A and B are shown apart, each in its own frame.
Chain A
Amino acid sequence: DARVTQTPRHKVTEMGQEVTMRCQPILGHNTVFWYRQTMMQGLELLAYFRNRAPLDDSGMPKDRFSAEMPDATLATLKIQPSEPRDSAVYFCASGLLTGANTGELFFGEGSRLTVL
């Protein structure tokens, strides 16, 4: 049963620490999204990749956030240094999106981050 896998599921850290969240997209999917879900903002798009190349990261605070796809099986979202306002659930989603097929996204279970 193919699924998007995210680690860690839960992370509690102190302000100023580096946090790295990882995502394994579904094999064969060409597009990977990172979303952040907070109580006030709902689902915010942070960044997304097509064929491992970043397409749009305008939703991401550039000074502290970075997103990469070192290879087709791994996407990472890093926060350095972390701040309490970064506390949220971070979702990764993947899909096979082409010009003809907008397709559906498959979401992981999320990584809940708490920054103290």
Chain B
Amino acid sequence: GESVGLHLPTLSVQEGDNSIINCAYSNSASDYFIWYKQESGKGPQFIIDIRSNMDKRQGQRVTVLLNKTVKHLSLQIAATQPGDSAVYFCAETLKAAGNKLTFGGGTRVLVKP
């Protein structure tokens, strides 16, 4: 597969517990934010997005929180499952810059049974 073996911060979480993954973004002008999940050997996959005029958005088992004051984004996963083990990336974009999508450094989540 395409496992890159990234040197990343790792979050270990017990199956069934909630996970919180944090991300600091760089551009205060960014107007759209996305969380991606990358499983070993695969390309990143869209999880959830949020626009800059919102501070919270919920999906199925996932919630994204946006704090523009401190340029912070978080992803909460409820009742974490083994299938949630992956690397999670936040990404930011700016429509005025042609929707150029820039990724953060990533966090590895390991779910312990």
Contacts and interface: CB of A to CB of B under 8 A. Distances in A.
B103 A109 contact: no
Contacts of B7: 39-40
Given A42-B106, A102-B93, A104-B34, A91 B44 contact: yes
A56 interface: yes
Contact of A108 (B5, B43, B100): B43
A31 B99 contact: yes
A55 B100 contact: yes
Interface stretch (A43-51, A64-72, A77-85): A43-51
Contacts of A97: 99
Nearest to A10: B2
A55 to B, nearest CB: 5
Interface residues of A, number: 33
Given A91-B44, A93-B43, A109-B42, A39 B6 contact: yes
B45 A107 contact: yes
B interface, size bucket: 20 to 34
Contact of A39 (B4, B89, B104): B4
Nearest to A44: B103
Interface string B93-111: 1010011111111100000
Contacts of B34: 104-105
A43 B5 contact: no
B24 to A, nearest CB: 14
Interface of A: 4, 9, 31, 33, 35, 37-40, 42-43, 45, 48, 50, 55-56, 88-89, 91, 93, 95, 97, 99, 102-110, 112
Given A38-B4, A43-B106, A99-B95, 15 more contacts: A4-B43, A37-B6, A42-B6, A42-B89, A42-B103, A42-B106, A45-B100, A89-B4, A102-B51, A104-B46, A105-B46, A110-B2, A110-B42, A110-B43, A112-B2
In the A-B complex, list the 5 residue pairs whose CB atoms are closest, starting with the nearest.
A107-B43, A43-B103, A104-B46, A110-B2, A97-B99
